[in-house]
Chains A and B, each alone.
Chain A
Amino acid sequence: MSAVLQNLVNQPYKHGFVTDIESEVAPKGLNEDIIRMISSKKKEPEWLLEFRLKSYQAWLKMTEPEWQNCHHPKIDYQAISYYAAPKIKAKLNSIDEVDPELLRTFEKLGVPLHERMALAGVAVDVIFDSVSVATTYKHKLAEVGVIFCSMSEAVLEHPELVQKYLGTVVPTGDNFYAALNSAVFTDGSFCFIPKGVKCPMDLSTYFRINTEESGQFERTLIIAEEGASVSYLEGCTAPAFSTNQLHAAVVELVALDNADIKYSTVQNWYAGDENGVGGIYNFVTKRGLAKGVNARISWTQVETGAAITWKYPSVVLLGDNSVGEFYSVAVTNNYQQADTGTKMIHIGKNTRSTIVSKGISAGKSNNSYRGLVKIAASATGARNYSQCDSMLIGEECGANTFPYIQVLNNSAQVEHEASTSKIGEDQMFYFAQRGVDAEAAVSMIINGFCKDVFQQLPLEFAVEATNLLSFKLEGSVG
């Protein structure tokens, strides 16, 4: 790999600052007392404490998954603080009451709070370390019956909804990290779109980890009732620390008859430095339940950050004719590791799923696609189409594809296509011979490669993702 390519990939991370803000951090370690502390801090009802304790008990009996193609030193779960919150005196009624230092942070990050947000017409929930600090447009949404607030608030104000759906898509004992999250989750976003309502604006959550030794365990729950629809965007960043922070989130989506949920993520957690020191461990469980007939759940993700990403946004296609989609771009550079993909579980009749995965590896990174397509015996007429493409930049990175296919119904059609390509010296030379420098060439090649996924993103996100990718890969090709 030539020097030009090298330099292109190795651009500094620009979100790596720490905000100097007074925060309240729980003592390190995990035990029932800490869980009780979190629960009482949040004034939670008894059932939720039970939910947490039950999850904790399940977690104690579980072990970390080891099948993924990622390697990291053993995580000491007792060395993590499970609660960190910016000190906020009273409950906030408007964005103007938020600590100005926090607002500046989000401004630096380019989160469209305030006027900018009004222009963009996006409702934003912002999670800083463990706590939700601002939810905008709440009132406007309330007029059409949409509930969009932090999870803590939902627990207090809409307990019946939370209790009805929480843990129904990702059960407490689903996997090691989901169990941990269920025990200690501190905040997250809650969205409820009632029957027949098309959410009038995109909903957006911005996650930020700011404290060095804290974990972030957010919990998001989105419910679209019969005929409802919503587009939800999620963004994330973290400061650059030389230690690793754990991010173990759970996202649950429920779509009833004819409902439509589109969930888009641009993940740019701190990835560690060029020697692989520091960075976020991004161990996330995301799952949607297409519960009703004709329900549709679509995941789009652009994963560029984190030292390790372990994440399989999935769809359980329960309702007849329901549709599941997964569009993913995962970029790894330096020593980053990503093991990501999806699961499409077809149960209802004539259910359809589409998987488009684009993995880009540069530096010494390792990028794996892992996906399961399961067609249950009941899923007559089910169809799946999967396309997994990998692109390698340079000689020292790796890409793998692990497609698992289980078909228990003969009428099903499952198609899988895979390809591996390389941004090679000759391609770069071709561009150069036409006057185009390496940076512009890589950006054009990568955007071409990711086109099918980017066009699924809402416009502003697509622009952000494009820039992020060019920025991320600058210096890696030459």
Chain B
Amino acid sequence: MIYQDSKVLLEVRGLCASVNGVEILKDLDFTVKSGEVHAIMGLNGSGKSTFAKVLAGHPAYEVTSGSVLFEGQNLLALKPEERARAGLFLAFQYPIEVPGVGNGQFLRLTYNTVQKQRGKEELDPLEFDDFVRDKMKLLEMNPDFLDRSVNEGFSGGEKKRNEILQMALLEPRLAILDETDSGLDIDALRVVAHGVNQLTTKDNAMVMVTHYQRLLNYIVPDYVHVMEAGRIIKTGGKALALELETRGYEWVSAEHQAAASVPV
């Protein structure tokens, strides 16, 4: 929701980033204020996941120019774990499997790490177990997932739910959900969307990367952005997503090119 007096949470200016020497993000600008819900859409390969990973500090991506402020501090100077502890959360498009590491144990480690950072109480295994089971109920997740290895053998949709569970535990300031809706069946989509909506407050913000309007029916965005070739080429309200759904991306691209070719 857009609030009049809300603070700027994330401010990205002229961000360029490359991987293996190939420039992917090209002069990207993006601003998020607290309370807001943003959707980023765009063709495959346009750089949406790259943007998310660059914000989270993935070591494979090199920021070549531009700036990113997160609650006023220079995000790019922080290590990935520091960014996370500062309240940046990324629900991965492809959550990784960690064989041998119990999911419950992992969740407790991440929870306690962040709690400690915030000067809050850490939970012992028994306390945590009660706590996490409550959160799992919210997402209609079977507690059996606590005893399995992190994401190992989870179905696509189960992995996504496990990501949102982590978001619910860590209570981030800014959550980026990278195609959390892909791979979810219709019921799961509703459950997850409901969970996400419950977590949204006027003090945090959400950025959803998605290809489909159906998610946006449940989590209604304040802004919809279109990404192409590593930059945001159009921003609109929730109606833009509906328009994209019917008309595709070509017209946005054409419009953008026309605007760019106009002599100043």
Contact = CB atoms under 8 A, between A and B. Distances in A.
Nearest to B84: A435
B80 A448 contact: no
A33 interface: no
A436 B100 contact: no
Given A433-B56, A435-B85, A444 B106 contact: yes
B113 A440 contact: yes
B99 A436 contact: no
8 contacts: A2-B59, A426-B96, A432-B84, A435-B84, A438-B81, A444-B109, A449-B99, A449-B100
A451 interface: yes
A430 B150 CA distance: 11
A429 B80 CA distance: 7
B105 interface: yes
Interface in A430-473: 430-438, 440, 444-445, 447-449, 451
Interface in B63-102: 79-81, 83-85, 89-90, 92, 95-96, 98-102
B256 interface: no
Nearest to B114: A435
User: Which of B80, B89, B95, B106 gathers the greatest number of chain A CB atoms within 10 Å?
Assistant: B80
Contact of A448 (B85, B90, B92, B101): B101
Contact of A434 (B57, B59, B102, B166): B166
B105 A433 contact: no
A448 B56 contact: no
A436 B96 contact: no
A99 interface: no
B109 A440 contact: yes
B146 interface: no
A253 B213 CA distance: 70
Nearest to A448: B100
A117 to B, nearest CB: 30
Interface of B: 56-60, 79-81, 83-85, 89-90, 92, 95-96, 98-102, 105-106, 109-110, 113-114, 117, 149, 166, 170
A307 B98 CA distance: 30
A427 B81 CA distance: 13
A298 to B, nearest CB: 22
A19 interface: no
A425 interface: yes
Contacts of A451: 100
> 6 tightest CB-CB pairs across the interface, nearest first?
A448-B100, A432-B80, A434-B110, A448-B101, A435-B84, A435-B113
A53 B83 CA distance: 68
B100 A429 contact: no
Contacts of B99: 421, 448-449
B147 to A, nearest CB: 13
A435 B117 contact: yes
A2 B81 CA distance: 15
A189 to B, nearest CB: 34
B110 A435 contact: yes
Contact of B84 (A426, A434, A447): A434
Q: Taking chain A's interface residues, is the majority helix, strand, or loop, or is none over half, making it mixed?
A: helix
Contacts of B96: 426-427, 430
Given A435-B117, A435-B170, 18 more contacts: A425-B59, A426-B96, A429-B59, A430-B98, A432-B80, A433-B80, A433-B81, A433-B92, A434-B114, A435-B81, A435-B114, A444-B105, A444-B106, A445-B100, A445-B101, A447-B100, A448-B99, A449-B99
Nearest to A3: B59
A427 B110 contact: no
Contact of B60 (A425, A432, A433, A440): A425
Nearest to B90: A433
Contacts of A425: 59-60
Contacts of B57: 432
Contacts of B84: 432-435
B81 to A, nearest CB: 4
Contact of B98 (A432, A435, A445): A445
Interface string A403-427: 0000000000000000001000111
Contacts of A431: 81, 110
Nearest to B169: A434
B101 A432 contact: no
Interface in A128-176: none
B115 to A, nearest CB: 10
Contact of B81 (A436, A445, A449): A436
Contacts of B92: 430, 433
A438 B92 CA distance: 19
Nearest to B115: A435
Contacts of A427: 96, 98
A62 B194 CA distance: 75
Contacts of B170: 434-435
A436 B115 CA distance: 12
B154 to A, nearest CB: 14
- Give the residue among B57, B85, B100, B106 with the most A Cβ atoms within 10 A: B100
B39 to A, nearest CB: 21
B81 A448 contact: no
A427 B85 CA distance: 18
A278 B79 CA distance: 36
Given A425-B60, A448-B149, A432 B81 contact: yes
